[in-house]
Amino acid sequence: MIYKRSSALFTEAEKVIPGGVNSPVRAFKGVGGTPIFVKEAKGAYLYDEDGNRLIDYINSWGPMILGHAFEPVVNAVVEKAKKGTSFGMPTETETQIAELAVSMVPNIDKIRFVNSGTEACMSAIRLARGYTGKDKIIKFAGCYHGHSDSFLIQAGSGASTFGTPNSPGVTQGTAKDTLLANYNDIENVKALIEANRGEIACIIVEPVAGNMGCIPPKENFLSHLRQLCDDNEILLVFDEVMTGFRLAKGGAQELYNIDADIVCFGKVIGGGLPVGAFAARNEIMNHLAPLGPVYQAGTLSGNPLAMAAGLAMLTVLNSDNGVFERLAEKTEYLHKGIHKVLNDNNVNHTINRVGSMISVHFDEGEVFDFTTSAKGNNDTFKTFFHGMLKEGVYIAPSAFETWFITDALTFSDLDFTINAVNKVAKQL
């Protein structure tokens, strides 16, 4: 494929945008080469500025669960835009989508809409601290909760060591209140709680990790977290920005039958527009201003375009009883097909899958946390990425990102993808 137009556009972008992109992973730093500039998209396909068609497996990092330019969402946004794009005042649509979301998700009474997953997680942590009166939080290595200061922390040494910032601009004062645990390691969490008894406001976790590739929770990991939180008066926060309304109507809470105290949403809940949200039981949410002392605000929060898009998306997901089964079936089909051709070509790999999230790790060992994810052969992934791109298949330009399956994919698309993997595997 030829990417002259994309290359020229990237050169122009670098002059006025840091790194030429508005989100770092788009820059192809992890795989090399020049980013693809998209002109339009429809269904399961991207169309770039050079006229190439690509089967899309990132789907705007998750929200396009029913495909690009999904007609009910597009129509809702167009009709709403004709009546005004932003008011900074309440609208009926906000209440309608809130009522629908609360009805779909277990264990929540109220929901507050914001503008991104980062904002949702940042606000949830503030609410947890305000509700409990405690300052420290536990997060897990490899789990990404947005770029708020509290989350840009890497491991120290030892179970009770404070985290250290892994981005300039994050202060030591912020870092000292963030404790880092190993995903799927309940004993590590217990040690952190014991070393900081009475000081931890919440544990925040991706119930299915998506930012070190797709990594499922081990059996009983989430239930043990729930019990630890109950025993130590700690709030359990599920970051369901990726999993919410994707793995089931009620997200990971429904899938694993685990009740979190606060749940964060994004991606699907906005139908492709910039939206995030956080939700909880009444006694927690009532601590938010204007009812309570925990302040959170935003001029564009609940803006009419985003609310219309999200309402249209959730309405379809709520009424289509077979959508999550179809998504899981397609993802399983893809999993089995890729696994077979990689095996046939003697390529070391592990494939993780939950519902419509899937990733290929180029290491034959079990992948269950950030350390094991990092063992994958990145040179192999780079060759794989560019090979798939040449064949007309677009996957995440990073070995540490899950793929997202859309219902718009046909089995012919999946067969095309599996055949592409077979071609590329001969180069690995």
Residues 279 and 180 in one domain: yes
Per-residue pLDDT reduced to its tens digit, 182-201:
999 999 999 999 999 999 99
Residues 103 and 141 in one domain: yes
Residues 122 and 59 in one domain: no
Query: Using 50, 70 and 90 to split pLDDT, how confident is the model at 161?
Result: very low
- Looking at the structure of the chain, the number of domains it has is 2
Amino acid 149: pLDDT: 75
Q: Region 247-256: what's the mean pLDDT?
A: 98
Exposed / middle / buried, residue 319 (Cβ in 10 Å: 0-12, 13-18, 19+): exposed
Average pLDDT, the chain: 94
pLDDT at 164 over 60: no
Query: Using 50, 70 and 90 to split pLDDT, how confident is the model at 341?
Result: very high
Please work out, in degrees rounded to the nearest 5, the angle formed at the alpha carbon of residue 222 by the alpha carbons of 407 and 396: 40
> Of the candidates 303, 319, 335, which is a domain's last residue?
319
Per-residue pLDDT reduced to its tens digit, 57-98:
999 999 999 999 999 999 999 999 999 999 999 999 999 999
User: Which region, left, alpha or beta, applies to residue 12 given φ > 0 means left and ψ of -120 to 50 means alpha?
Assistant: alpha
Q: Which amino acid is at 343?
A: N
- Residue 193 is encoded by which pair of tokens? 């709680």
Residues 60 and 92 in one domain: no
Query: Using 50, 70 and 90 to split pLDDT, how confident is the model at 323?
Result: very high
Residues 213 and 337 in one domain: no
Amino acid 157: pLDDT: 29
Exposed / middle / buried, residue 416 (Cβ in 10 Å: 0-12, 13-18, 19+): middle
Exposed / middle / buried, residue 50 (Cβ in 10 Å: 0-12, 13-18, 19+): middle
Rounded distance between C-alpha atoms, residue 361 and residue 376, angstroms: 6
Amino acid 162: pLDDT: 44
Do residues 99 and 111 make contact, with C-beta atoms less than 8 angstroms apart?
no
Amino acid 156: pLDDT: 30
Residues 79 and 65 in one domain: no
SS3 label, residue 379: helix
Rounded distance between C-alpha atoms, residue 372 and residue 404, angstroms: 21
Residues 53 and 192 in one domain: no
> What is the enclosing helix (H) or strand (E) of 284?
helix 282-285
- 356 lies in which domain range? 4-69+322-425
DSSP assignment string, 43-104: BTEEEETTS-EEEESSTTTTT-TT-BT-HHHHHHHHHHHTT-S--SS--HHHHHHHHHHHHH
Rounded distance between C-alpha atoms, residue 123 and residue 131, angstroms: 12
Rounded distance between C-alpha atoms, residue 253 and residue 245, angstroms: 10
Residues 131 and 208 in one domain: yes
Residues 266 and 133 in one domain: yes
The pTM for the full model equals 0.95
pLDDT at 173 over 90: no
Per-residue pLDDT reduced to its tens digit, 30-56:
899 999 999 999 999 999 999 999 999
Amino acid 165: pLDDT: 60
CA distances to 61, 63, 123, 285 from 292, in Å: 34, 32, 14, 9
Q: Which amino acid is at 383?
A: T
Per-residue pLDDT reduced to its tens digit, 409-420:
999 999 999 999
Residues 182 and 267 in one domain: yes
Residues 133 and 8 in one domain: no
Nearest alpha carbon to residue 151 among 184, 177, 128, 190: 177
> Of the candidates 319, 354, 382, which is a domain's last residue?
319
Nearest alpha carbon to residue 390 among 427, 356, 359: 427
Q: Region 369-395: what's the mean pLDDT?
A: 95
Query: Using 50, 70 and 90 to split pLDDT, how confident is the model at 152?
Result: confident
pLDDT at 217 over 80: yes
Amino acid 170: pLDDT: 74
Do residues 64 and 272 make contact, with C-beta atoms less than 8 angstroms apart?
yes
> Of the candidates 256, 284, 319, which is a domain's last residue?
319
Amino acid 391: pLDDT: 97
Query: Using 50, 70 and 90 to split pLDDT, how confident is the model at 169?
Result: confident
CATH assignment of the domain containing 257: 3.40.640.10
Rounded distance between C-alpha atoms, residue 263 and residue 306, angstroms: 19
CATH assignment of the domain containing 19: 3.90.1150.10
- Residue 39 is encoded by which pair of tokens? 């002109």
> What percent of the chain shows pLDDT beyond 90?
89
Active site residues: 144, 239, 267
Residues 50 and 105 in one domain: no
